[in-house]
Amino acid sequence: MTTIHPPEPFRIKVMEPIRLVPREEREAKLKEAGYNLFSLKAEDIFIDLLTDSGTGAMSQEQWAAIMRGDESYAGARSYSRLKSAVEDIFGFKYFIPTHQGRAAENILSACLVKPEQYIPSNMHFDTTDANIRARGGRPVNLVIDEASDPANPHPFKGNMDIAKLKAFIAEYGREQIPFGMITVTNNAGGGQPVSMENLKAVSAVYGEAGIPFVIDAARYAENCYFIQQREPGYKNKSVKEIAREMFALADGMTMSAKKDAIVNIGGLLCVNDEKLFQNIKNELILREGFPTYGGLAGRDLDAMAVGLYEGLDESYLSYRIAQTAYLAQRLNDAGIPTIQPTGGHAVYVVANQLLPNIPNYEFPAQSLGVELYREGGIRGVEIGSVMFAHPDPETNQWSYPALELLRLTIPRRVYTQSHFDYVADTLVKIKSRAKEMKGFRLTYAPELLRHFTARFEPL
Ligand SMILES: Cc1ncc(COP(=O)(O)O)c(C=O)c1O
């Protein structure tokens, strides 16, 4: 089946050239990089699907807003414009800008997390997880079981398991849980959305226990669009109305604005509690800057104020979600398995199913990622054993993740349908010789976060 893809709702005014370096050069660059795609230079990549974070294309309105940026140290006009957008869309009482999402997470954790305390969520993103741990806290993931089955077509696979959440709170109690979270959409679980029904249930459970509820809103607009499309009762509501309904359920939010606010840098932290906000401001001044700029330039605040509305535009959202679905459909039509249903910001190829002859300890998703660059100059990111395998501290045996994935992450408003046809055609070509492909052996690996700097040798 071939899906009809809606045309891009924009035309190109400024073009950035990209170049496919010759095949022999790609081979040499791979070798030089120790077969680690993070070590390649951007200029040697033809289509870069490493991340959707800060890689979007800003609009003419955002660039015009940048020229209006007010660089006054305190009380800048840019801050007032951002404040009015944030209040209009999210409706929280207080907010600060931050330089990106993890800065908001750091400040919130500094203010609320004490050693040995637990922070439940559907699934914490890795920076949230790390910021909680950095304060001695313990992040806990309570997503529904369907999330771990790549073929399960559940429409809201980012949902929290409400029974598990209730049982967790009953076991540990309010004193051990300074706040609870949920990530929309669930990046770590395949960009899968959370339903409004589930958000309401989560809010009620936290509320009854007296636990503040904080939303990780990096991709809230994509999540709200999925609610409009998939959840009964939301067809006739605008994405913005759905967003207001979602945030009215929470006591605060953190946001990496590098995703759904379509800026290259920026973040937000919003809360309703006045005392907490005072502490947040003090932390911000210590680490990031004065509360009316929060570690950003005035022009960045203006770009964010405009981008927040553009991220909610429904013609943009329908094109974006269809673009992701189009790439997945083209792969699925050719028998290439991807996580189902297709999420918002990325297509996740199930590499262990595509390359069943490469065992997990020889890194099938790494092998597929290297081959995709070798064949077509395309960069994806391995989310499998290179990233997550670790020795079990009890047994000293290696523990491997259930899935070996190659994530093809889609920057906003950057690539066109013909780029995605090229990506799909390249993967289909690779599939035809999947049986001959070999795995990799690590030649260097640091103990922590090894995927960034590891080096490999082909087997
Ligand atoms: C769900 C989620 N939360 C938080 C972050 C951290 O944001 P940043 O990269 O802006 O620090 C990310 C970044 O990818 C994310 O996907």
Among 29, 99, 259, 345, the one annotated catalytic: 259
Instruction: Name the stretches of the chain with pLDDT < 70.
Output: 1-4
The token pair that represents 84 in the structure block:
């009015």
End-to-end CA distance of the chain: 37
| Residues 87, 166: Cα–Cα separation, whole Å | 32
Hey, what domains does the chain have and what are their CATH numbers? 23-52+314-458 (3.90.1150.10), 60-310 (3.40.640.10)
**Pocket perturbation via mutation, ligand 1, pick of 102, 119, 264 by most ligand atoms within 8 A of CB:** 102
Residues 112-145 pLDDT 10s = 999 999 999 999 998 999 899 999 999 999 999 9
- Asked if residue 270 lies in contact with residue 213, where contact means CB atoms within 8 angstroms, the answer is no
- Asked if residue 127 lies in contact with residue 233, where contact means CB atoms within 8 angstroms, the answer is no
User: Cα 192 to the chain's mean position, in Å?
Assistant: 10
Name the phi and psi angles at 213, rounded to 5.
-110, 120
CA distances from 349 to 119, 130, 164, 403, 428 (A): 30, 26, 29, 10, 12
What is the Å distance from ligand 1's center to 415 Cα? 21
User: What pLDDT sits at residue 3?
Assistant: 54
User: What pLDDT sits at residue 289?
Assistant: 95
Asked about 259 being catalytic, the answer comes back as yes
**Pocket perturbation via mutation, ligand 1, pick of 259, 264, 268, 300 by most ligand atoms within 8 A of CB:** 259
